[in-house]
Structures are given as structure tokens and as C-alpha cells.
């Protein structure tokens, strides 16, 4: 499974990219607004840090407006993936942009039927929002399972399932087990995936035992030379 980071905070992106675990980035107008910076400037900087796909969302709601904005975004860097909403106008824009060779991420997917339409429109990624479904009492992960099953039954569809609105590590683990190709995670969730109390305890015990030996790996290596 590929991990995308869901943020426009360049410091967070640089820090997490240094782990080698980040395959891409997703942004949206809300995340850009939080940064307080110029949209295209932030996008260009992110694309320079992360070689993988960087999703940038259009603000227009009509097809022609989305095409104009999408083309402008695609010019920022080769790894930009234009994000459009799962609406009739959004899918028309997706078809055209995809035909021009631009990767398109169709966002705000909440049903298997919508996911099928996105794939038919040539989307590189479809983004089902699991957390938002959970928030209203629906089963977000059930949607992921249905979309993965649907795409597997139609091998001519090449759209990747990009699990969005991830709230905790188990969303990621369950999606990976189902066969979703991508999860986009808030930085907080990716950091939570590192954590386990037994890891912390084990490391503390090992360090305490090593300290008792009174040795230094670096000094021992120097003495041997």
C-alpha cells in the first residue's frame, strides 16, 4: 500500500518524507487555507519535496472552470494530480484531463456506484471518505471493501482506491487487508502507526542493559582498529 500525507504543511511533509515512507501528498482548499500561504507557491514546494503524486484540488464547480484550473495546476509540476469532485461536471473534466495525460483524483466518493463512474471517466484515483461515513453512523470500511471488489471484478478499470478521511491506524490496516492501493493519512495518524507501548518498553530495557556493560560501540570500534 502507498502512503500519501494529507496536509499542506511543508514542515510536516519534509519531516515525514525523510522517513522514506511517503509516496505522495494530498491537499484540499481547507488544508491550503490553514497554511495561510499562496496556493501555487505551496504546491510547487510540495512537489519539489515529494517525487510522487501531489493532489491539488480545483475550486471551480463547472466543467470549463475545472478544466482551466486543472490545466493551470498541472503546469506547476509533472507530479501534480488534479483533484476534482465527484459530480457530473467533475467527471466531464476528469475525462478530458485524463485524455490529455494528466493524473486525476476524483474526490468526495461515498458509494460504489460513484466509484464506478469515476473509473469509467478515467480517474487515476478515487477517494472514498471513510471517516465522514463513520461520523454519520455508516460503515466507511464497508465502502472500501465494496469498491475494491467492484474494481477487481472489472479488470479493465485501472483506477486506484485512495482511502481518504482516515481517522486512525486501524482504518489504514483494514484498508490494506482489503486490497486498497493507497491511503492518505494526516501526519498524526502516520506517527501513531509507529507507536506501541511494548516497543517503548523493550527499547528502554535494552538501553538499560547496555548501560550496565559500560561499553561504547564507537569506542570499541576505534580500539579494534
**109 neighbors 85 (Cβ within 8 angstroms):** no
* Pairing label, strands 2-6, 24-26: parallel
User: Annotated catalytic, 83?
Assistant: yes
Active-site residue (options: 2, 34, 83, 201) = 83
Q: Which residue in 131, 157, 156 sits closest to 144, CA to CA?
A: 131
**117 neighbors 86 (Cβ within 8 angstroms):** yes
> For the chain, where are the alpha helices, taking DSSP H only?
10-17, 29-35, 39-49, 63-74, 88-99, 112-120, 130-135, 140-153, 169-178, 187-194, 197-213, 217-224
CA distance 180 to 144: 7
CA distance 107 to 87: 9
**43 neighbors 53 (Cβ within 8 angstroms):** no
CB contact set of 102 (below 8 Å; sequence gap of 6+)? 70, 71, 74, 80, 81, 82
What 3-state DSSP class applies to 18?
Answer: coil
Residues classed as catalytic: 83
Amino acid at each position: 500500500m502507498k502512503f500519501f500525507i494529507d496536509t499542506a504543511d511543508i514542515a510536516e511533509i519534509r519531516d515525514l518524507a525523510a522517513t522514506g515512507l511517503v509516496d505522495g501528498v494530498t491537499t484540499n482548499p481547507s488544508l491550503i487555507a490553514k497554511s495561510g500561504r499562496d496556493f501555487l507557491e505551496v504546491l510547487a514546494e510540495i512537489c519539489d519535496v515529494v517525487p510522487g503524486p501531489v493532489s491539488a484540488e480545483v475550486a471551480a464547480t463547472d466543467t470549463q472552470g475545472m478544466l482551466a484550473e486543472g490545466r493551470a495546476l498541472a503546469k506547476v509540476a509533472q507530479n501534480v494530480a488534479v483533484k476534482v469532485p465527484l459530480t457530473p461536471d467533475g467527471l466531464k473534466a476528469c475525462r478530458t484531463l485524463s485524455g490529455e495525460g494528466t493524473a486525476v483524483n476524483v474526490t468526495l466518493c461515498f458509494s460504489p456506484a460513484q466509484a464506478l463512474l469515476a473509473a469509467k471517466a478515467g480517474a487515476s484515483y478515487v477517494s472514498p471518505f471513510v471517516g465522514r461515513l463513520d461520523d454519520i453512523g455508516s460503515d466507511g470500511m464497508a465502502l472500501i471493501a465494496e469498491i475494491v471488489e467492484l474494481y477487481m471484478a472489472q479488470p479493465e478499470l485501472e483506477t486506484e482506491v485512495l482511502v481518504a478521511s482516515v481517522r486512525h491506524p486501524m482504518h489504514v490496516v483494514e484498508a490494506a487487508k482489503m486490497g486498497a492501493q493507497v491511503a492518505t493519512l494526516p501526519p498524526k495518524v502516520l506517527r501513531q502507526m509507529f507507536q506501541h507501548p511494548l516497543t517503548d518498553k523493550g527499547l528502554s530495557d535494552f538501553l538499560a542493559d547496555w548501560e550496565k556493560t559500560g561499553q561504547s560501540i564507537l569506542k570499541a570500534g576505534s580500539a579494534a582498529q
